[in-house]
C-alpha cells in the first residue's frame, strides 16, 4: 500500500510516499519551511505544497506537534495558540483535497519504530522519547499505543522539562553534551519512576549524536537509539492513515 506521509516539525514540513508494507520511502523526501508564525491557514498551505509536489490525490497521514482527539488539536505548546480547537484533519483535507488522518508527531514516530525499527517485536512497556525542539513521548504496552502522552511537559524542579532537557534547550543554554546529559538523564529517571519501562527508545534530531550523551545515562531500563531516524515521522504518519484504505 502506498500512502503519503507528512511530518510537521518545528523548522520544516517533510513528506514522501511510503510503502506501508516495508516501511520504506518510495521517493526522496520533499521539505518546505514551517511557516512562522505556524498558524492554521499558513500551515495548511504548506501541507498542500507537499501534496502538490508529489501530485498526490490519495490518502495522507500527517504527524502534528500537538495532542489530538479525532483530528482536533487539544494543545499548542510549540505552535500558534489558534490551533487549539481546530480540526487539523478537516483543515488539511480541505487544503489538499486528499483524505487525511492527523496524529501526534511523537505517536507517528513511535508507530514506525515499533513496526519497523528498534521496537519491533518488543513486548512489555516501551517508552519512546523524541529529542528535538521539544520532548515528544509515546508509550507502548505489549505493542499497543497509548496516544497523546505528551510527557515532555512534566514538571522537574519547578520547570517544564522541555526547558532544560530538549535539544533546543541544549542549544539555547549553550551546554556541552555532557552537561546537557545531566538534565536529560534526570528527565528519564522521572519517567522511569512513573512507568518503570522495560525499554527506552531515543529518537529525534539529537539521537544522531547519541554517542555524546548515552554514556551519562543511568536509568535501569535498557536504552537504545531509534533506527528510522529522520524517516520515522513520515513512515509512522503513513501507517496511521492505513484506515483510509
pLDDT, tens digit (0-9, with 9 covering 90-100), for 82-110: 999 999 999 999 999 999 999 999 999 99
Burial of 103 (0-12, 13-18, 19+ CB in 10 A): buried
8 Å CB contact between 82 and 66? no
For residues 52-56, give the mean pLDDT.
Answer: 98
pLDDT tens column, 138-188: 999 999 999 999 899 999 999 999 999 999 999 999 999 999 999 999 999
Looking at every residue in the chain, the average pLDDT score rounds to 94
- Domains belonging to the chain, first-starting first, are 2-107+231-244 (3.30.420.40), 120-226 (3.30.420.40)
Three cell numbers written together for 228: 528510522
Position 202 scores a pLDDT of 95
In angstroms, rounded to a whole number, what is the distance separating the alpha carbons of residues 109 and 115? 10
DSSP per position, 59-118: -EEEEESS-EETTEE---SSS-GGGTT-BHHHHHHHHH-S-EEEEEHHHHHHHHHHHHST
Three cell numbers written together for 199: 525499554
Position 10 scores a pLDDT of 79
For residues 58-70, give the mean pLDDT.
Answer: 95
CA dist 100 → 66, 130, 161 (Å): 16, 24, 32
Name the pTM for this structure.
Answer: 0.91
Comparing CA positions, the residue from 111, 189, 206 lying closest to residue 154 is 189
Instruction: For CA atoms 85, 238, 234, 51, give the dihedral sign.
Output: negative
Amino acid at each position: 500500500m502506498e500512502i503519503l506521509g507528512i511530518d510537521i516539525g518545528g523548522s520544516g514540513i517533510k513528506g514522501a510516499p511510503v510503502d506501508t508494507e516495508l516501511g520504506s520511502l518510495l521517493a526522496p523526501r520533499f521539505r518546505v519551511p514551517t511557516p512562522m508564525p505556524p498558524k492554521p491557514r499558513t500551515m495548511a498551505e504548506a501541507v498542500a505544497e507537499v501534496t502538490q509536489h508529489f501530485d498526490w490525490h490519495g490518502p495522507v497521514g500527517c504527524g502534528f506537534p500537538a495532542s489530538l482527539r479525532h483530528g482536533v488539536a487539544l494543545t499548542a505548546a510549540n505552535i500558534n495558540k489558534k490551533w487549539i480547537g481546530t480540526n487539523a484533519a478537516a483543515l488539511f483535507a480541505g487544503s489538499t483535497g486528499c483524505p487525511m488522518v492527523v496524529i501526534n508527531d511523537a505517536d507517528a514516530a513511535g508507530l514506525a519504530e515499533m513496526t519497523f525499527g528498534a521496537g519491533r517485536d518488543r513486548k512489555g512497556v516501551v517508552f519512546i522519547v523524541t529529542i528535538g525542539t521539544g520532548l515528544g513521548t509515546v508509550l507502548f504496552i505489549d505493542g499497543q499505543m497509548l496516544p497523546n502522552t505528551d510527557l515532555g511537559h512534566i514538571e522537574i524542579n519547578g520547570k517544564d522539562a522541555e526547558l532544560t532537557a530538549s535539544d533546543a534547550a541544549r542549544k539555547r543554554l549553550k551546554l556541552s553534551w555532557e552537561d546537557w546529559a545531566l538534565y536529560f538523564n534526570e528527565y528519564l529517571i522521572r519517567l522511569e519512576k512513573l512507568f518503570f519501562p522495560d525499554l527506552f527508545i531515543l529518537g529525534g534530531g539529537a539521537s544522531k549524536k547519541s554517542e555524546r550523551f548515552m554514556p551519562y545515562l543511568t536509568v535501569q531500563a535498557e536504552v537504545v537509539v531509534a533506527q528510522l531516524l529522520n524517516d520515522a515521522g513520515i513512515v509512522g504518519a503513513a501507517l496511521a492513515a492505513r484506515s483510509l484504505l
